[in-house]
Amino acid sequence: MADAAAFDYVIVGAGTAGCLLANRLSADPARRVLLIEAGGRDNYHWIRIPVGYLYCIGNPRTDWLYQTEADAGLNGRRLRYPRGRVLGGSSSINGMIYMRGQSRDYDAWAAACGDEAWRWEHCLPFFRQHERHHGGGDAMHGASGEWYVERQRLHWDVLDAFVQAAQQAGIPPTADFNRGNNEGVGYFEVNQHRGWRWSAADAFLRPDCIKRPNLTLWTDAQVQRLVLARDADGALRCDGAEVLTKAGLQTVRAARELVLCSGAIGSPQLLQLSGIGPGDLLQRHGIATQHALEGVGANLQDHLQIRSVYAVQGARTLNTRAASLWGKALIALEYAAKRSGPMSMAPSQLGAFTRSSPEYVWPNIEYHVQPLSLEAFGEPLHDFDAFTASVCNLNPTSRGSVQIRSPRAADAPAIAPNYLSTDEDRRVAADSLRITRRIVGQPAFARYAPREVKPGVQYQSDADLARLAGDIATTIFHPVATCRMGRADDDGAVVDARLRVRGVRALRVVDASVMPTITSGNTNSPTLMIAERAARWMLDDAARA
């Protein structure tokens, strides 16, 4: 094992949070920063083309290729669980949707961890700090940051009909989902720039940051475990990490802090491999317990989407537009000439937020609507015109876990989301399918004669619909909360309100795993905000020291 040079900060994971942190921490040339990424460079051409997620998810070049455990709530099914394994992390393979969630999410975080800094009004400036919004700057949006937020470059009549039908069903229109209450229906804004995907690596590493002499980037380098030691007073400290690189196993030292930015799967896995986690789990795998923290890997939350498919007449959809070689050629030509059309599509183009039943004060379900249909992700499009309306429960009460299977970093952990394991989640699933039917049954859709292909009108009762959700629902790729923050007296909390690992000096977790509860919407941009906040705290701590 070789010793590498020491750094002030070592960042594990060059994904959404890690790229921003590397940018902010290395802005002072006196600070030495190492950014470590287990995946490779993001030079695969399909990363930049928005529709290229189809070729990145399930590809070992860009995806960890995780699978869930067999899930009782899904009637024994396992799900593919994509996570980015490439520079930019999941921001290089995700759906590109810019969504902050609802103000109540952040107010609940503040209550959970006893720190008013997490309230919505205090988080908003950190969203704005890195944002470059197409509409310019105002009280809600930033205009001079690195994170492009743009309108989509496409149009579909069948999606316009969904907007009209949703309004007829009582859902108001909205042009901006990101002002604290995302209720409404409208087209999603996306993290793209001139028709190209805009990842965290594009935003925060290129072109200037990656050239800084005080920033070192390692790719194809997987951290095996953290290096822990005891200070003179007996307190546990993180000194660095053991990293498997192309040159062999190396030890890196962090003079100030080591920061885990490996996501809701990778961060708890690495803590457990290092002896930080539930004692019984560590003992089963022959790992000496350095610090017992029962919450490491617990509290997993995710958004489960239920896909309804409707065949239509008299409306062009991607199913038939892309059915021929000529159609595919026209699509490619449109993108080459204008950076628009189907190749510029995010996986979902249209969104809606509403309530599954009147008892909910805030919108508790989200729609992702697409002008296409298929049996399952990665399979061919249907040979008839159709659209898909996927709906997810924004605030699931089911809780899962991430646990190591062995003491080896190369072995994927066991991911058990425990979807639909509560009565409330099953009730919301059934009610949300009824809301979908109510929208599609409005007059705005009549001219297209929609026919429910999936799940099928024969399913009507609560029991039928809940069981059906288990048969057809799938993840929308938003795992969070496996290293959640909390108060000092909260035995399940892994980090404090400033994201420092409880009981371990010089170690933080900065990624989606620290969320106490999942945001009411897509999770990528909230993760950037978390990283922006953490960078400020870390720099303040360094200045005081």
CA 160, CA 157: separation in Å to the nearest integer? 5
- Closest C-alpha to 169, from 535, 466, 436, 460: 436
pLDDT of residue 1: 54
Known catalytic residues are: 478
- Measured distance CA(519)–CA(512) in Å, rounded: 10
105: part of which helix (H) or strand (E)? helix 103-113
**pLDDT tens-place values along the chain, 545 residues long:** 555 679 999 999 999 999 999 999 999 999 999 999 999 999 999 999 999 998 999 999 999 999 999 999 999 999 999 999 999 999 999 999 999 999 999 999 999 999 999 999 999 999 999 999 999 999 999 999 999 999 999 889 999 999 999 999 999 999 999 999 999 999 999 999 999 999 999 999 998 999 999 999 999 999 999 999 999 999 999 999 999 999 999 999 999 999 999 999 999 999 999 999 999 999 999 999 999 999 999 999 999 999 999 999 999 999 998 888 998 899 999 999 999 999 999 989 999 999 999 999 999 999 999 999 988 777 788 999 999 999 999 999 999 999 999 999 999 999 999 999 999 999 999 999 999 999 999 999 999 999 999 888 887 888 888 888 899 999 999 999 999 999 999 999 999 999 999 999 999 999 999 999 999 999 999 999 999 999 999 999 998 88
Token reading at 197: 């995907």
In terms of C-beta density within 10 A (0-12 exposed, 13-18 middle, 19 or more buried), how is residue 414 classed?
middle
Tokens 């404090």 sit on residue:
496
Partners of 104 in the β-ladder: none
**Helix (H), strand (E) at residue 178:** none
Given this model, what pLDDT does residue 3 score? Answer: 59
Q: Between the CA of residue 530 and those of 122, 482, 510, 523, what are the distances in Å?
A: 12, 15, 7, 11
Q: Which helix (H) or strand (E) holds 94?
A: none
pLDDT at position 81, please?
Answer: 96
How far is 211 from 206, CA to CA, in rounded Å? 8
* Of residues 513, 108, 511, 174, the one with CA closest to residue 366: 174
Taking the whole predicted model, whether its pTM rises above 0.95 is answered as: yes
**Secondary structure of residue 423 in the 3-state scheme:** helix
- Asked whether the beta carbons of 86 and 53 are under 8 A apart, the reply is no
Position 4 scores a pLDDT of 61
CA–CA separation, 290 vs 229, rounded Å? 9
pLDDT score of 339: 93
